[in-house]
Amino acid sequence: MEKFFRRNFAGYSFLAPWLVGFFLLAIGPILASLYLSFTKYNVVRPPQWIGWDNYTYMVQFDARFWKALQVTFTFVAVSVPAKLVFALGVAMALDKGIRAIGWYRALFYLPSILGGSIAVAILWRQLFNYDGVINSMLRLFGTDGPYWLADPNYSLWTLIVLAVWQFGSPMLIFLAGLRAIPQELYEAAEIDAAGPVRKFFAITVPLLAPVIFFNLVLQMIEAFKSFSGAFIISGGSGAPLDSLLFFTVYLYNEAFSFLRMGYASALAWVLLLIIAGFTAIAFWTSKYWVHYENERG
Amino acid sequence: MSQFNRRRFLQTTAGVAALSTFGLPAFAQDKQIRHFWWGNPERDKRTFAAIELYNAKTPGTVVSGESLGFADYFTKLTTQIAGGNMPDVIQQGYGVLFEYIANGAVVPLDDYVGNSLDISRIDQSAIDAGTVDGKFYALSIGANSHMAIYNSRLYEEAGIRVGSNFDPYGYTYDDLKRMAVEIKDATGIPGTDDNTADYQNFSDFTVQKGANLYNEDGSYGPTQEIIEEYWSIWAAIREAGGTPPGQESAGLAGVSELSQLGVVTGKSATSFLWSNQLVGAQGLMQDTLGAAMYPNTPDMIPGSVIQPSQFVCLTRDSQDPEAATAYMSAFINDLEMTKVLGLERGIPSNSEVRAALEPDLSPAEAVSVAFFDAIQGKTAPLTAPPPSGSGEVEQTFERVAVSVLLGEKSIPEVAADFLAQANAILRRA
């Protein structure tokens, strides 16, 4: 024991800042929220144990909970595939050995760095306002755009566009994956007279599958957790008519507008289980469509 | 020069770390008082100036101010309650104050009255409003009421004149509709904001119809008929062209920033707010604002109340309640400080302060005072504070009213849906 400490003390003391942060700021609050999810807790009074009530209320009586799920699932189901297709397309265009490719990469990656920020969400609101840039441009062509943000039929789509616009990080990963595909496979295919479509589906997609899978899981988790865009654009409430009521926005509202910390904790755990469930499904399906080079066929 | 090796480095940094820990109390011999309020640019400017005045004339106490917009204020306060580090002095409103008192976050002031806290010149009505179960908790900073503000230039261009064809203290929804259309025809700008999703107006209307927002047993007062009538009145004004398009108003439902008011953005000629916000709104625009009551029904049953706009309260986390209450005392009594603060938070409840302010009121403040003189006797009695859950009912109203504005569902349908949700919220709270 003593020997262990003497040998590893320096290592652990360098790790200490991270370890302290991990236990105090991550594990601690996570366990606390698990406990709180079984209580009624309004911050000012001590928590009160109520068993499974939060969870049963959610499923049986809470219409906004189901609405939030519907909005979040729609967002994930549309934005993730759209973003991946877009990212792959741009990556393939950039893979052609263009000059000054570094600049293009940086340029396309930029939105991903900015994307999660409050400033971009506010900018988005300005762009899609009724008197905003988008509608002013439409007016140049003689059409009048709708109220993108105030009309529940359009509001979610503005956020999906915002999400797709942040295609930078999957694009970079795709680009690296494309570079790793041996060129001679394409040459061999060309000798066999395969066209570009055939090459894409017979060579690019199968060999890129591990990278596609990685991007899919990562982007799906990110989409489920998406918060700041919907929060800012809807003014914090999920408006109009709850069309932007992302699960995280609803959770925030329950916690900080209505001070139902216990209920909000329960919501957070439900979101965790949903994300875990979908990630597990993705991994399970992956054995049917993702093949790694070093695995035995 | 001595060698700066690793051991030496560790010693030095450890020394500095130790110094900074022990050093803190030494620097903090002054009493530190934190004052937290929700504000707008005008209020922040005035309040920080008043704090500077206080710090200059009170050696040994350092007051520091913190300000946020209304939307974020209570979120921050909540996390501070949880963390046990609320500021010493906080601002509270009439509705939510009572929850904080019930929860013990705000503490009674009785021990300080007559010592560090002077309330001898405060109106009895203001003291009563801050008293719960015989204990005095909250110092009113000013009286407040619902107010319609209008762009006088646009009203004049449409030929609408106070005294001849417009009585700001006794006009009906039909009058408003007629004027709104006249303004639209004369200036191209719709005459009024659309209050379909405005809960303040709806609560006034409920009282104007002879009901209460909450019954004595805490259940919800407005009936299906009242809700339908309210939305139908505004639908008629909207369809006549007196308001901006429904979708435009839908985007503003629940938004409380002064900068988004129709009169400020120039998208309408009339907006609705609390009377103490007049000064802040005027600060954001060029044209002169006039003040009126909310519209009424032909029966003219009073719907608005006069209530304390805001209170300053002492929190349970205050380390130095003597110094904090002394500051609170100066905040409402000191003639130099209250002169800087003016009427921005409402009509002061200290008679001496009111008299001292009178000679040099700004034009907007003069409008406020005239408004308050005119509405005396035309307001409803102050009701009991709303039950918990009322804030959520209000947000629900703002949310569902959007489907009326967008024409997604019929008014009776939305009204029934709202009532069901409101009752569910009140049962759960």
C-alpha A25 chain-centroid distance? 22
Residues of A in Cβ contact (< 8 Å) with B92: none
**Interchain CB contact of B391 with A (< 8 Å):** yes
**Portion 403-422 of B in contact with A at CB < 8 A:** 403, 406, 408
User: What gap in Å lies between CA A138 and CA A130, rounded to an integer?
Assistant: 11
Domains contained in chain B, number = 2
In a domain? residue B10: no
Q: Considering only alpha carbons, which residue of chain A is nearest residue B401?
A: A241
**Interchain CB contact of A240 with B (< 8 Å):** yes
Residue A217 contacts by C-beta under 8 Å, 6 or more apart in sequence?
A279, A282, A283
In a domain? residue B182: yes
Nearest to B248 among A42, A130, A256 (CB): A130
What range defines the domain where residue B245 resides? Answer: 146-304+387-428
User: Per the structure block, which two tokens stand in for B182?
Assistant: 């006249």
Q: Are residues B114 and B202 in the same domain?
A: no
pLDDT reading at B16 higher than 50: no
How high is the mean pLDDT of chain B? Answer: 87
ipTM of the complex: 0.77
Show pLDDT as tens, one digit a residue, over chain A (297 residues): 677 777 888 888 899 999 999 999 999 999 999 999 999 988 877 898 999 999 999 998 888 999 999 999 999 999 999 999 999 998 988 887 777 777 888 888 887 777 667 888 888 888 888 888 888 888 888 888 888 888 888 889 999 998 898 888 899 899 999 988 888 888 898 898 888 888 899 888 989 999 999 999 999 999 999 998 889 888 878 878 889 999 999 999 898 888 889 999 999 999 999 999 999 999 999 888 887 766 554
Residues of A in Cβ contact (< 8 Å) with B406: 150-152, 240-241
**Interchain CB contact of A116 with B (< 8 Å):** no
Q: Cβ(B107)–Cβ(B116) under 8 Å?
A: no
DSSP B365-415: HHHHHHHHHHHTTSSBPPPPPPPTTHHHHHHHHHHHHHHHHTTSS-HHHHH
Q: What is the CATH number of the domain that holds B282?
A: 3.40.190.10
User: Per the structure block, which two tokens stand in for B323?
Assistant: 């110094």
Q: Are residues B198 and B320 in the same domain?
A: no
R_g (Cα) of chain A, nearest Å:
24
**Interchain CB contact of B12 with A (< 8 Å):** no
Residues of A in Cβ contact (< 8 Å) with B248: 130, 147, 150
Interval A147-170: pLDDT, tens: 888 888 888 999 999 889 888 889
Q: Are residues B87 and B215 in the same domain?
A: no
| Pick from B260, B293, B11: nearest CA to B166 | B293
Q: Are residues B196 and B321 in the same domain?
A: no
Q: Cβ(A84)–Cβ(A219) under 8 Å?
A: yes
In a domain? residue B375: no
Q: Which pTM was predicted?
A: 0.80
Q: How confident is the model at residue B345 (pLDDT cuts 50, 70, 90)?
A: confident
Shortest distance between the Cα of A168 and any Cα of chain B, in A, equals 31
**Portion 141-170 of A in contact with B at CB < 8 A:** 146-147, 149-152
Residue B92 burial by CB count (10 A; 0-12/13-18/19+): exposed, middle or buried?
Answer: buried
User: What gap in Å lies between CA A96 and CA A206, rounded to an integer?
Assistant: 20
User: What gap in Å lies between CA B322 and CA A144, rounded to an integer?
Assistant: 62
In a domain? residue A27: no
Domains contained in chain A, number = 1
Residues of A in Cβ contact (< 8 Å) with B104: 44
Interval B120-165: pLDDT, tens: 888 887 888 888 888 999 998 888 899 999 999 999 999 999 988 9
B248·A147 Cβ contact <8 A: yes
pLDDT at residue A38, as a whole number: 95
